[in-house]
Structure 1
Amino acid sequence: MPLFNFNRPSDYLDAAREMADTGRPTLARLLAEEAADRTSDTAEKARILDEFPGHSLSQEG
């Protein structure tokens, strides 16, 4: 498994794809949500979340 540096939304998205590919859909969704949160373009946010369907798993506190 590659090591990830989480500095950009694309880093989270790459990690999300890795988790999805290895059968970890919950982790994939959480990473995708973080990528979307760090993206300023609303269309790109929607595209990211569409790639990883499901209900929001993030906890606001």
Structure 2
Amino acid sequence: MSLFNFNRPSDYVDAAREMADSGRPTLARLLAEEAADRTQDPHEAARILAEFPARTLRKEN
């Protein structure tokens, strides 16, 4: 695995892609959700989440 510097949403997306490629879809989804949370554009956030369709483990309050 590469070392990542998580400063931007794209850093989370890059890590999510690497996790997906290595067979870790749940971790990829969690990283994608973090990227989406840090993205101001709601359309871009939706696109990010659509790229990683594994179900979420987040619990909403």
- TM-score (normalizing by structure 1): 0.90
Q: Secondary structure at the match of 1:11?
A: helix
Is this contact kept in 2: 1:16–1:29, CA < 8 A? Answer: yes
**Structure 2 spans left out of the alignment, 5+ residues:** none
Aligned to 1:29: 29
Is this contact kept in 2: 1:33–1:58, CA < 8 A? Answer: no
> Residues 18-60 of structure 1: CA distance to partner in whole angstroms, max 9, x if unpaired?
0000000000000000000000001000000000113332245
The answer on 1:7 being equivalent to 2:13 is no
Aligned to 2:42: 42
Aligned length: 61
Question: What is the alpha-carbon distance in structure 2 between the residues aligned to residue 46 and residue 10 of structure 1?
Answer: 14
C-alpha displacement of 1:2: 1.1
**Structure 1 spans left out of the alignment, 5+ residues:** none
- TM-score (normalizing by structure 2): 0.90
Q: Secondary structure at the match of 2:55?
A: coil
Question: What is the alpha-carbon distance in structure 2 between the residues aligned to residue 31 and residue 17 of structure 1?
Answer: 9
